Structures are given as structure tokens and as C-alpha cells.
Amino acid sequence: MTQLTPEESRFLARAVALSRKHMHQGAGGPFGAIIVRDGKVLAEGWNEVTSTNDPTAHAEINAIRKACRQIGDFSLSGATLYTSCEPCPMCLAAAYWARVDRIVYANTRIHAAVIGFDDQHIYDEVAREPGDREIPMLHVPSEEARAVFEEWLGKADRVEY
Ligand SMILES: [Zn+2]
């Protein structure tokens, strides 16, 4: 366990408050998140899976999307993701894609599993070879698909990320 500064503690408490408020308002599961950079809250997010029928509408994903729109950049480099619960594999991956500097969380994936949100299964699946996963994955090589990658490399105005 790590000690947070008083300011950091307030940010984490805000993520937890969001999880409670929007869970009670019927938005979705009990999860909240905020993105902070240079002491400024860029965006807040909460789980909206059941209210929007979007299985990817987790608190962290929503906060990352809002923060990026807010700053007009696909990178959240220098930012901290405060979340009421340890991110699931999807949100953890999104945090990596967004290049956040740090993740601070309150509840753990074990706490989440106890109330019916079992991320461990997905963490286990990620670690397996594609052919060994619960969802069948078929690798079908395509010359055209490879050609598109070559075209990307040759695209003069490509924006790297
Ligand atoms: Zn998630």
C-alpha cells in the first residue's frame, strides 16, 4: 500500500464518489474514474454499460475518451488515472494506449470478483495462446491484409501513435 498526498487522496475519493453516485442513479456498475494532469481534472467517468447497452462503457474507458476529447490529443502522457477499482484488462490496455503515467485504484480485482465482476477470467484468457482461448480464434492469413500494412508504411501523412 502506498501513501498518497492529501490532494491525491481527494482525487481517489472523487473517483469513489462517482462510483457510488452513478451506481445509485442507475447508470451501471459501481465504478468511477477520473483523469488528472498537473493537478487539474481533465475528465470524469463512470460505468454506463447497462444504461447505454455498451459493454465497453467502463468508467476508465469513458474517462479516457472524455479526457482526450477535452484536450484534443490521443495521448494522456503525464496524466494519472484514479479509479475506484483496479482496472479490468480492457481498461488497463486502454490506459497503456493512452500512455497515462500512473494508475491509482481503491478496490482490487478480488473485491470486484466477490460482487460479481470477475476480471480474473479475462486476465487468464489474455495469457493463453490464441488457439487455447474460450472464444475460438482463427488465424487466416491474407495477402491483402498484409498489403494494407505496407500501404500504411508508405502513407506520407500517417499520424503515428
Ligand atoms: Zn474496465
Ordered per-residue pLDDT tens for the chain, 161 residues: 678 999 999 999 999 999 999 999 999 999 999 999 999 999 999 999 999 999 999 999 999 999 999 999 999 999 999 999 999 999 999 999 999 999 999 999 999 999 999 888 899 999 999 999 999 999 999 999 999 999 999 999 999 98
pTM of the model: 0.94
141 CA from centroid of ligand 1 (Å): 30
CA–CA gap between residue 19 and residue 31 (Å, rounded): 4
pLDDT at position 120 is 86
C-alpha grid cell, residue 139: 488465424
Alpha helices in 25-119 (DSSP H): 49-52, 59-71, 89-98, 109-114
pLDDT at position 2 is 75
pLDDT at position 105 is 98
Map grid coordinates 447497462 to a residue: 50
pLDDT at position 68 is 98
E strand map for 1-158: 32-37, 40-46, 79-85, 102-107
151 CA from centroid of ligand 1 (Å): 33
Q: Is 143 one of the annotated active-site residues of the chain?
A: no
87 CA from centroid of ligand 1 (Å): 5
